[in-house]
Chains A and B, each alone.
Chain A
Amino acid sequence: MDLSRRLAEAAVRRTCVLVVEVPGWAATRYAAELAIRRRGWRLASSPADADVLLTCGTPGPRLAEAVGLLWEQVPGPRARATVTARSAVDAAMEQAAAALLDTGHQRADAAQRSPDPAMGTRAEHDEDDEDSGGSENQHADEEHASDGSDGDMNDSDMNDGGGDMDMDMEPGGIPLAGGAQDRDGLEMDVLHVPLGPVLPHWPAGLLLHCTLSGDVVTEARPEVLGAAVDAVPDPPMPGASAVDRLDRAARLLYLAGWEARATDALRLRDDLLAGNDDASVAAGVDRLVARIRRSWVLRWSLRGTGPISSGTCEELGLDDRATGDVHDRLVICLTEARSALEGDRLPAPVSPEILAELLPGLEIGAVRLLVASLDLDTGAHLSTGTAAR
């Protein structure tokens, strides 16, 4: 056995997978994540971190193009797979591992790639023309492949010098950032950065067109890139359930930087999916809630982050359980999982449209936590992203 073969075998033991969930295919993603954990692999945090790009579901044209751009950014050795059913997950993983081990195939793949980084498409710069029908097509062309884990196309920040340089200069083809007054009256660079549609711990298919002032979101326009028109998820998307609450709690905990407790939540989710006894899962949820409540560091760190007042709740038609900060919603998310196990009905998910109201003024980390703390219904908004262009 030669050295490069051994290196490849050692490397494949720790394969990193970037999972793309198409709205509606949550169950397939759960199965994929379980398979990844069982193999001792891990989830990638960005395309640069990934060896395998796994798409769960059949994406619509715009989401498919975004996935295509991600594929260009995966460094390689790389493998790509699409699964549309839970039963297909294991075979897809086997194939991906085999492809990664096939050094000849990887060499050929690398040889035909351009050494220059892929030029993506620009983030939109004009938020006002979104309703004018005439520019709709061109508009869609501009934004379709933007993805949040890769900001390269959208941030020429810092190049702006004194702010008096010629704004037509475009280093690398990227326009320079404009300036605008921040909340404190000082000038800040203004960037147009898309968040999504593919980010770890992010709602499926959600694309937020953000205007950033430094790391603060000053404007956000949500949109959902959906599944292909004729695609039917297998199994059909479940409604609000204990499984989905545990999944969301795990996301929140990952984003809060508490991997140990996030893993606990994911294991409870997987136990539930594997058909384990509800009572033992309920006991696990109780333990997790107790541990989270006991952590004063988490409370201190999240206190006042992403607050929603009861007035705003009413205005936006949110269930009043959403009142409070991210920490409150994390605890409620887990108590809801607990009550769902006992047969209670959970409140219905809400439209991502409300994000446009809630996000402005928040720092990007707070934005991520707030988005994860809400039960957003990206499935019901399939129409926005699937319309054929």
Chain B
Amino acid sequence: MPIIEMKKVFLLGHRNEKELVFDLLQKLGTMQIADIKTGSTWDEFEALLEPEHPTESASDFDNRLSMIRYCLDFLQRNFPMRKSFLQQFTGAKMELTRAQYGAYIEDIGQVKELYESCRQIDDELVQIRNEETQYTNLISEMAPWKNLEVPLEETKDGPFAVMRLQIIANDHLEYVKGKLEKEIPNAYLEVISGDNEHLYFFFTCLAEDYQQVLEIFKEKAVTAAAFPGFTGTAKNNIDDLQKKLENLEQKRAAALNKLEDLLKYRLLLMACYDYADNEYRKLDAVSNLARTDNSFLLEGWVPAPVVADLEYTMAAKTGTAIVVSRDPLPREEVPVLLHNKGPADAYEVVTKLYSTPRKSEIDPTPYLAPFFFVFFGICLSDAGYGLVLSLIALFMLRKLKLGGMGKQLLQLLFYGGISAIVFGVLLGSYFGDLLKLPALWFNPLEDPMRMLFYCFAIGLVHIYFGMGMQAYRNIKAGHPFSALFDQGFWFIFLNGLIMLLLPDFSGIGRYLALGGAAGLILTQGRSQQGVVKKFFSGLLSLYNITGYLSDVLSYSRLLALGLATGVIAAAINSMGGMIAGSTVGTVFMVLVLFGGHLFNIIISTLGSYVHTSRLQYIEFFGKFFEGGGRSFQPFGIKNSYIDVVEADEAL
């Protein structure tokens, strides 16, 4: 069975052994802990038991985690660790041996200290940034007055005279100047500098005249600039500020240097993060259980085959813990764990990308696997490309040591490459037409109609298979008549229609098609009320033939993608052939061939993968598969940064 059966497990123990039990559970990683308070049996327990809350040490670890997270983020912000292109898909973890990992964990006490240092450097950097903005703003404010000889502290209102720094829009200067000359001849105005919009001028007049001057200024929105607290000329001040900025830059470099010294602790922080995270989740998991004064009760899901393991471990390693299991109740939502043996395992990734099946459903993985294998091969259909793809996938499998879906995807590509080799040999394509070997079967470039026919045929098999799966589901669910009406009659009707097209079988085909259609008309309206409604919705259901037609036609993409791979490869070969000849030409030819074919492999593999997936999701799954189950997520050790490996594997 590809969907593993689950057991509901109750674990009862003495409170003294609570931590030990959780420790064991986490190491085993086979139990999905359910919150007992939301379980179906809570009503019965509620009078007897109290919900448990996490202890204080949980919040200790939580605090520590947020400290480490802060430090790691801070380091990452200033000294980013780059992930390679591949790692962005696979995630990058550091490899540590168990001993190294343990040594780092010993030093978890250092976290607080590191946090303080990071905090301090962070504050310093913020302070530096603030001062920097302040100084740069001042500099840009003073810059227009750079050529003013008057010290800044003297630009003020004295008892007899007023000295001011003023800013005016370019167009208005003439007007203000004219008016001042006319009305206050004693006033003095000197333009210091100007830019696109404004002119900056020095202005002085008698204090008694200033009221009148202000009236004129107001008219043209002349504003004042002032630098209280600064002495000396603007130029001197700007130089000072610039020096201060340089100082700040040095300070920043010093702070970053200090931080760079802390970089060597990054691995320690990562290890401690993973450790603290796991400890925290272990302590926090306690909130899922219920207790009496001296005992606790825990509820969860465990895959049926490993229940015995759990029972054994609990019996061997603890004194009091007892494991009780039962089959799931019909109403309970059971988590789903897929397990496929052999090559089919790789194709789980296809199913999971669509949706986890429900508990009551069939896992479609083993059934889609052979179709996926064949379709992928037809789409890529080149022996050379298949070989390269398989080798790359194999190399990455060895090199990257991925788990879960990443590994499955690479395995899927490996099998896809093998399939492409098979179809490449059958259809005579080796890096396009680079090696001119005859096709073992036939060349689709010479006879595309024949290939199209085969594509439709294999598509029809795929669709029939999906219908068969639904029929099986119906029968298993106790509706054999639904299987006959909804799938059987369609099967007869469709086959009849196909036979009608073949001259030899058109006689039988006519009866089959008519019989199937009659069956459909009579049965497809069975959920409706009244004979007339039943008949018309039965008649209308024949319209679904367009759906089947478009489903079958959809498989033409197999031919199209196969041709595309081959023709692009041929195009690359002929481009290479055009420049071959001289020595330089030959070098370029090799480059063109290498780059071009690599590009084509990537783009064709992507196309093959996504279009083959689509045929599974829309054409195949549409017939019988619903999905929407929840996947099994066991309580176990989860690391974000560190991969603990055995000593001899470490780099």
- Our verdict on whether A and B bind, yes or no, reads no
- A interface list, Cβ under 8 A from B: none
